[in-house]
Amino acid sequence: MRSFRGLSDEYTRTLLAPFKTKQLLAHILSSVTEDQLRGAESLLQERMIGAIDAHRFTALLDLPAESGGAGWNRIRAVSLAGRIEAYLDTATRVKTAKSAQEGARLIYAFFADRLTFPADSVQADRVREALTERLALKIDLRGLQQKLDDPVSEGGAGLRRDTAEHLVSETETILLLKY
């Protein structure tokens, strides 16, 4: 605090607010350190370009940073690697799908376990229809959001707004990864 000598407490608080805000949110939302995050990013880049396979990626996440790893614990490393592999696998399968409808079915299967309605319901059909339109480039991400969020009575899937936003984000991530 020597750097702020001569400044009022109120002014010092104002100057430090952005830094304290970032630090507090980072602490609350993630127990991953900056070094662990940088290590994981580097390893993920190697994984995505094919320099390492899934097994090696998981092992390196768990390895201490001093030994060339990311310094994560085993449970977190396995969990992260599993999620990443699910995204990469789905993106690869969507990329090789023969039609937008097949790709939509694959994306729907990717997050079907998080949906609370039966797969043979009107809502499920509407989600798959919206995904098909997105893959066929008939709608953009805002259009996808709208179709997922609109009530069933208005032709939408009737999802809660936060669920629709999450599915749009997941879909767009998969679409980005397929390139």
Q: Is the pLDDT of residue 118 over 80?
A: no
pLDDT of 1 over the 60 cut: no
C-beta separation of 178 from 95 below 8 A: yes
Q: How confident is the model at residue 102 (pLDDT cuts 50, 70, 90)?
A: very high
Q: How far is CA 31 from CA 34, 35, 72, 121, 140, in A?
A: 10, 12, 10, 39, 35
- Predicted confidence at residue 114, as pLDDT, reads 67
Ranking 15-19, 37-41, 58-62 by mean pLDDT, the lowest is 15-19
Question: In the prediction, which pLDDT does 12 show?
Answer: 75
The pLDDT > 70 percentage for the chain reads 92
Cα→Cα distances 39→56, 70, 85, Å: 14, 4, 17
Full-model pTM: 0.80
Whether residue 2 is predicted with pLDDT greater than 70 in this model: the reply is: no
Residue 178 CB coordination number (10 Å): 17
Q: How far apart are CA 124 and CA 119, in angstroms?
A: 5
What local confidence, expressed as pLDDT, does residue 107 receive? 95
